[in-house]
Amino acid sequence: MRQLTLASQGTRREKFLEEMDRIMPWPELESLIEPYYPKEGKGRPPVGMGIMLRIYFLQHWFNLSDPAAEEALYDSPALRRFAGVDLGRAAAPDETTILNFRHLLEKHDLCGAMLDAVNHYLESHGVRIGTGTIVDATIIHAPSSTKNASRARDPEMHQTRKGNQWYFGMKAHIGVDSKQGHVHSVCSSAASVADKHMLPDLLHGEERKVWGDGGYQGQGEAIRKAAPHAQDMTSRRTRYRKTVDELQRKKNRTKARIRAKVEHPFRILKRVFGFVKVRFRGLKKNHDHLCAAFALVNLYLHANGWPCWGRSVSRTRRNGGLCRSDEKQQTENRHRLAPNSFSPPMPLKPAGCSEIP
């Protein structure tokens, strides 16, 4: 009997990259970037767009900074094969090239467009955005130390208290489809902003039911304004002085079984991809990072058990942009950034934050 070795079976990292390479809608994503990507001409020829896009996703999956991504390409043959880097022909892209590519995506708001493109791609394969939305938020930590060049914390990050524990950072607000469990809306704010303030921007307008925890109670008017036909299914208060409403507790428990789906994207974002602390200063850069990360989360959620897909893309309707938009503005970036409110793959070694010029 032949004994299978690790080399013949492949590592977890290699299997993960093969699976993600199979399900990623590469033509659709590359078509978003192609109009803005540098063309060959005078000066040094640009690195292939497909290579840079794959390296950008590797940074999300393995929580790599720009210098760590460059080192990982030289260190790991599996990462080089996935990115299409051949050291026999050319050197791997350096950290400055990787940084410039990310700045290109941020400048043209392409990270939010990636989330739209992925949801369109999923819809073409039967994973459609339904008429139920679950809303929730999670805190992303930021460095609270003042031991830096400016001797100050990030002015766009703020602190908040959850129970008896204080946190400093930002909040990622998401709207999740209640049936399929994938993210269709993303908002970002400082940690001090209450969850309920982002509720209207997390709805796509065609909901019949909206679920949320106790932080969203009393927002029936805001829900009806954003989604006229939606029913408010948020959890209600159960304690009144010395009495407890047992009937309402049972209703909240029933609602919690549905609301549990909203925790799955957060688990993948934090525990699988390792994004538990902000990588950049300021809300805008971290918001763009979150939009691209949740696009990858949606694909990861539906990766297991799916056959080889085609590459067609169909339309879908969603909302929650930088400003409120109607049906005529479907192609614009609609992932809102709060204004002035201020496993899976085998892990590589921990990486520090990228330097922001």
Cα–Cα distances in Å, from 95 out to 36, 91, 145, 222, 253? 20, 12, 26, 45, 49
Q: Which of 71, 68, 49 is nearest to 59 (CA)?
A: 68
231-232 vs 132-141, strand pairing mode: unpaired
Tell me the residue length of the chain.
357
Tally of CA atoms within 13 A in the half-sphere of 183 that contains its CB: 33
| DSSP letters for 294-347 | HHHHHHHHT-TTPPPP------------SS---GGGTTS----B-TT----SPP
**Could you list the pLDDT tens digit for every one of the 357 residues in the chain?**
455 554 557 889 999 999 999 999 999 999 999 999 998 887 788 999 999 999 999 999 999 999 999 999 999 999 999 999 999 999 999 999 999 999 999 999 999 999 999 999 999 988 899 999 999 999 999 998 888 888 899 999 999 998 899 999 999 999 999 999 999 999 999 999 999 999 999 999 999 999 999 999 999 999 999 999 999 999 998 888 888 888 999 999 999 999 999 999 999 999 999 999 999 999 999 999 999 999 999 999 988 645 444 333 333 333 333 333 333 333 343 455 554 333 455 445 433 333 333
Give the tokens for residue 123: 């819809």
Q: Which of 322, 319, 262, 263 is nearest to 288 (CA)?
A: 322
Token pair 């990259």: residue: 17
Token pair 């659709």: residue: 28
Q: Would you state the pLDDT for residue 7?
A: 54
Q: Which of 182, 193, 177 is nearest to 139 (CA)?
A: 193
Give the tokens for residue 286: 């971290």
